[in-house]
Structures are given as structure tokens and as C-alpha cells.
Amino acid sequence: NVKYQATPDLALRVGRIALPVFLAADYRKVGYTMAWVRPPVEVYGGLPIPSRDGTDATWRWGAGDTRHATQAFFGRTERHLYEDRRLEAHGIAGLSHSIEHGPLSARLSALTGHLTAGIGTEVFSAMGAFGPQGVALAERYAIAHKRVSMVSLGVSYDPGQWFLNAEAGHARTHSLLGTTSTMYAGGGYRFASLTPYLGWAKVRAHGATRDPGLPLAGLPPRLQAGAAALNAALNIYLGTIPIQTTLSAGLRWDLALDAALKVQYDRLLPTDGSRGTLINTPASFRSGQTVHVASLALAFVF
């Protein structure tokens, strides 16, 4: 992107820009900047649009020892999901306000846009052939020009020797992606080059995570099997709406001025028929069973 500093307090940008949502929006993919191996996926995975092509304006102002930054943004995005599936979002618009006061920082953000994604299109096209009820199901769940909206609030307190972070968000998609609330809290303590840390995160769904789908009663036998298969496929998609709680513990070792070695353990518990934030789950996976994840990462800057 290209930035133009119009005045000492006002900056304008145009190009591909990360969405200013959540505390670590500007650096969440730079692992060296964070104590943990990755940002909590329960919160940061809740936004299907990581960036946009467009413009923004940031006005920085102060009041005493408190610094403020108010940012307005607009744009659109298109990216590849998997195979031939793509995600498109247009009319992305929002506001973000950041506050810094000594060791305390906070960010409040809100955005909206229209989302289209090639997920489940073959299921919803087939459902439309089953009359008004099938059409209604397709219109309810298909991700086609559906409005997505999100609000988030994050707070960080870092006086140097220790730190605490907490964030919460609410996303509504009016589609198969569902409506979710997310939150996390974590902190750590710095002992010279070592930083042990703990974290807790949760994502929960509002609304349906299962649907009876097409009514099978009264259908000819040759159509019942097809309708049942479509209902099963619909509920597989609804099972991807994350419902999960995670406890994390880790240790960061700053082994050099520009490199850090991090080890982290996550205990995930997807519930209520959801596979949580997991992808590519094996046939043996069952919701409600604890999942253990161990991570080792070397983060460095150059």
C-alpha cells in the first residue's frame, strides 16, 4: 500500500491493508512480536476477511498523556479458499479507535460488508429442487451476498515485567457461517530472557448448529435418499461453526536479540457437535473429546 501523510496528525493510505480489528491486527502474522506461538484462533479465526483492497484514513490526536488514533476504512477483497472455491467481500466499511495511556492500550472496532463464498453451493443448488422448503433453506444458509458484521474490544496492560491481554468479539454473518461470540484472556511474566505465559479462550455459537433440513415424509423413496444425503451434508457444514474452549500454557525464550524460541501446549475442547476450530479432522474425531496440541516455533526478524 501507499501512505500519504497529509498533516502531522492525518495519514491516508490506498492499497492492500490489514483490517484494523483486534489488538494484534497490524502484526498478528509476525510471530516475534507476541509471547505465544499464534494469536488465539478462537478470536482471530472468527473474521473470514483478514484484509481488504481499498483506502483508509487515520487521525492521531492526544489529550494529556493519552494518545488516540481514529481510523476509518473502506474496500473489498477476493481470495482463494481451497480447490476452486473463492471468497469475495465488497462494501467493507468500518471504524477503529485505539487508545494508549502509559502501559495501557485498548482498541474498539466495528465493521460491516457483504460476503460471498463458494462453500456448500452444490448442496444448496440441489435443495432448491425440492420446492419452497428447499429454497428457504438455501436462502437461509447460502453464503451469497450476505451481510457480515463484527465488533471487537481488546485491552492490554504491559508495564514491562509482566503483561495481561484480553479481547472479546461478536460476529454475525446471516449465513452458514453462523453467529459467534469470542473471547480470550492471557498473561505472562518476564524472567530475564524467559517468559512463561498462560491463556484461556472460548468461542460459542448463537443460533442453529444443526437443522432437520428437508422433510422426508411424503417423498417418493427414490427422492428420500437424496434428501437425506443433502440434510447430512448441511449438518456437516453447520458442524464447522466453532464451539470450543481452550486452555494454553507456554514458554518463550529470547535466545538472541532478534530470535525467540517458543513452546506451547493447548488443551482444546470442542462441544455441542462442533469440530471447533479444527480442520481436516479424521473419521475417529468426536465432538466433546479433548484435543491436545503441542507447538514448537522459532520466530525471528531480519
| Secondary structure class of 56 (helix, strand, coil) | strand
DSSP for 229-246?
A: HHHHHHHHHHTTS--EEE
pLDDT recorded at residue 95: 96
Among 211, 223, 94, which Cα is nearest to 149's?
Answer: 94
pLDDT tens sequence across 139-193: 999 999 999 999 999 999 999 999 999 999 999 988 888 899 999 999 999 999 9
pLDDT recorded at residue 110: 95
Report d(CA 76, CA 72) in Å as an integer.
14
pLDDT tens sequence across 259-295: 999 999 999 999 988 989 998 888 888 899 999 999 9
pLDDT tens sequence across 23-73: 888 888 889 999 999 999 999 887 767 788 999 999 999 988 999 999 999
pTM score: 0.88
C-alpha cell of 111? 465493521
Mean pLDDT calculated for residue range 74-88: 83
pLDDT recorded at residue 135: 92
Mean pLDDT calculated for residue range 91-106: 95
pLDDT more than 90, % of the chain: 67
pLDDT more than 70, % of the chain: 100
